[in-house]
């Protein structure tokens, strides 16, 4: 008799490119406690905008999503808008940046920095 496999949904995913860049930043700073904070604020072309920051500490009500040696931190307000999203990293003519691929967004601006749900 075979059993059902257990599945724990991940609130956020981290692309290989974002994981590699975050790992490099942690090594450059020589700070293994460094985490990428992802948040949503009001504003931008489409109503909400994504933000990124680096954090060493997390608040009691933050969500910590770990991916081996690297981790994302999300506050409770932002969490609801980011569930199911993938944090990615890209380098191009416009520079280098972290970005969010959000399946919950109904509209996004041209640069991908703001969205509407």
Binding residues for iron-sulfur cluster, by number, are 45, 109, 111
Q: Give the dihedral of Cα atoms 10, 16, 17, 21; nearest 10 deg.
A: 80
Decide the pairing of beta strands 35-42 and 70-74.
Answer: parallel
* Phi-psi map region of 58: left, alpha, beta (phi>0 left; psi -120 to 50 alpha): beta
Q: Which residues line the annotated binding site?
A: 45, 109, 111
Question: CA distances (Å), 75 to each of 15, 47, 80, in order?
Answer: 20, 18, 9
Rounded to a whole number, what is the distance in angstroms from the first to the last CA of the chain? 44
């Amino acid at each position: 008799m075979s059993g059902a496999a257990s599945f724990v949904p991940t609130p956020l995913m981290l692309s290989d490119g974002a994981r590699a860049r975050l790992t490099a930043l942690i090594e450059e700073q020589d700070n293994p406690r460094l985490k990428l904070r992802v948040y949503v604020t009001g504003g931008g072309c489409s109503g909400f905008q994504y933000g990124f920051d680096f954090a060493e500490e997390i608040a009691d009500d933050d969500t910590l999503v770990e991916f081996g040696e690297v981790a994302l931190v999300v506050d409770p307000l932002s969490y609801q808008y980011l569930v199911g999203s993938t944090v990615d990293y890209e380098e191009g003519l416009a520079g280098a940046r972290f970005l969010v691929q959000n399946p919950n967004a109904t509209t996004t601006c041209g640069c991908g920095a703001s969205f509407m749900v």
